[in-house]
Structure 1
Amino acid sequence: MEKVNQTFYLSHGSPSLSIDDSLEARQFFKSWKTTVLQQRPKSILVISAHWDTKYPSVNTVERNSTIHDFGGFPEVMYKLKYEAPGATELAKRVKELLMGEGGMKRVDEDTKRGLDHGAWVPLMLMYPEADIPVCQLSVQSSQNATYHYNMGKALAPLKDEGVLIVGSGSATHNLRKLDFGMANGSPCSLGFGV
């Protein structure tokens, strides 16, 4: 089994990245397989800022649906689909690692959730064939950075198992909670959720 040996944090930008060829980031994602990661991953784990839960959750579906979790964009965007196969085996492994090495008491399995735009928008450009199994893991924005760092440490062995791990979001993500008038804002005011 070939190792991926890298984890990537990607700023997925606006959902319009899915259709706007003028965006430089779109060209970056489209060139992914030739300029960034030539190896084909066995499966992909996406940790998206758009799925925020009290306890860690993994989606365990046979085929991912496309969640259009945005509003006010051109109608064509709501017709886009990225229905990659689910990665139920990977989801079980994520749960095992988080409860074992990560010491978590609870990790939920969501048998209905598909991929939000933090996952499918970059993936549809990176791997347009939608033929690599994908699993999504939620974040817990009520927890601190140490908590999430420890989650990452627990999941690190996946890189040696051929899994591409992608964190998707942005440094300032929840723009509805951002107070542009705040002179000395705290990082907590930014949040991760939608």
Structure 2
Amino acid sequence: MRVMDTYFISHGSPTLAIEDLPARRFLLDWGKILAEKPKAILVISGHWDTSVPSVNVVSRNSAIYDFYGFPREMYKLQYNAPGAPDLAKRVKELLINSGFKTVREDPSRGLDHGAWVPLSLMYPKADIPVCQLSIQSNQNGEHHYKMGKALAPLKSEGVLIIGSGSATHNLRALRFDGSSPAPWAQDFDNWLTEALINGRHDEINNFQKKAPSANMAHPYPDHFYPLHVALGAAGEGTKAELIHNSWSHGTLSYSSYSFRSPQ
């Protein structure tokens, strides 16, 4: 089996599961991006935030409805993919061997909407084992990049690594008038794509200091750190590609990327 690419997916609103958006159509056509079926999926979502790295160790996943005030049909959706306890143990092993002192196992947690919403579109049969890994918003980009580097061996073991967050994520600045992207959001989005394509990993890791309008694009870093994990897993010399770009509400970018390790 070839070395797998890693990916960052901007998952946007939970209603991506039911709304007819360009980003939804992109995920429904995922087979055009990756035709090969992975043995298992490791997903890092901005919606599982813990003090130390944590993995869910379950035999069967369930959908967590970690959102409020959405259409009733959202709470009827299911994504009961098999768990991946062996993968969870492997993730823990790799992280500890790379210097992460504590990695916790969660024996009951399912998949939050940052994980199951995109996966339900990408792999609707829910027949691939899934393990979820948490982020730590009390840490920085370099911490998550190092986490990704530790997980790099998984790419040769048939594991698809997906970071799920948002290229921009400022919910207080959403526009509901159908306007074009706000200048600050467009500036950050353009910077991100250029920095990734040109391999400026140090800038990505220190985006708060390097990126234009970083505090507006990410007043909290939780939805950006999954990108650092996916990028770190691909490693230095990564060939980054923008595989989707669209917007909603004027400030919410759905930019998504693939990262191919140097061969």
Do they superpose with TM above 0.5? yes
* Counterpart pick for 2:29 among 28, 31, 55: 31
Note the C-alpha offset of 1:176. Answer: 5.7
Note the C-alpha offset of 1:177. Answer: 10
Q: TM-score, normalised by structure 2?
A: 0.67
Any gaps of 5 or more consecutive residues in structure 1? none
Partner of residue 89, structure 1: 86
The alignment of Structure 1 onto Structure 2 pairs a total of residues equal to 187
Note the C-alpha offset of 1:72. Answer: 1.2
* Counterpart pick for 1:190 among 217, 220, 231: 220
Kindly indicate whether the alpha-carbon contact (under 8 Å) linking 2:82 and 2:128 is maintained by their aligned counterparts in 1: yes
* 1:117-172 Cα distance to aligned partner (Å, 9 max, x none): 00000100110000000000000011011111100000011010000000000133
Query: CA distance change for structure 1 residues 7 and 72 in 2, over 3 Å: closer, same or farther?
Result: same
Note the C-alpha offset of 1:190. Answer: 2.4
Report the secondary structure of 1:189's partner residue: coil
Matches within 5 A, 1:27-106: 27-33=25-31, 35-100=32-97, 102-106=98-102
Q: Which runs of 4+ in 1 moved over 6 A?
A: none
Q: Give, in whole Å, the separation in 2 of the partners of 1:122 and 1:170.
A: 12
Report the secondary structure of 2:171's partner residue: coil
| Percent of residue pairs identical | 64
Q: Give, in whole Å, the separation in 1 of the partners of 2:76 and 2:50.
A: 27
Query: CA distance change for structure 1 residues 73 and 169 in 2, over 3 Å: closer, same or farther?
Result: same
* 1:85-107 Cα distance to aligned partner (Å, 9 max, x none): 0000000000000000x211100
Matches within 5 A, 1:169-184: 169-173=165-169, 175=171
Question: What amino acid is the match of 1:122?
Answer: P
Query: CA distance change for structure 1 residues 86 and 174 in 2, over 3 Å: closer, same or farther?
Result: farther
Query: CA distance change for structure 1 residues 133 and 4 in 2, over 3 Å: closer, same or farther?
Result: farther
Query: CA distance change for structure 1 residues 108 and 17 in 2, over 3 Å: closer, same or farther?
Result: same
Note the C-alpha offset of 1:188. Answer: 6.9
Query: CA distance change for structure 1 residues 18 and 4 in 2, over 3 Å: closer, same or farther?
Result: farther
Report the aligned-residue RMSD.
2.2
Highest RCO, 1 vs 2 (Cα 8 Å, sep ≥ 6) = 1
